[in-house]
Amino acid sequence: MAQGYSIFIGLLVIVVLSVAAWFLAPKSENQIIWRSSLILAFSCCYLMWAITFLAQLHPLIEPRRSDLRKEYLHS
């Protein structure tokens, strides 16, 4: 779980959701708003998640801190 290839799984999920949004949008004069808003929202959220995930995929720096208690580390 959550390996590097997850980024493509996520993409697939978003594509499926977007296609579903396209076809399931209620048919009315607001159809275009449903379609555009849902697909844009999915894309934005996916992009944000992908950026966050990719930024941590091959990190260049490691977390560092010196205020950890012994009990915490050995538990």
Query: Which residues would be at the binding site for other proteins (CB under 8 A)?
Result: 1-4, 6, 29-33, 36-37, 40-41, 44-45, 47-49, 51-70, 73-74
Tokens of 27: 């048919």
Question: What minimum distance in Å lies between the beta carbon of 67 and other proteins?
Answer: 7
Distances (CA, A) of 62 to 3, 8, 58, 65, 71: 19, 26, 10, 10, 22
Question: What minimum distance in Å lies between the beta carbon of 16 and other proteins?
Answer: 18
Question: What minimum distance in Å lies between the beta carbon of 3 and other proteins?
Answer: 5
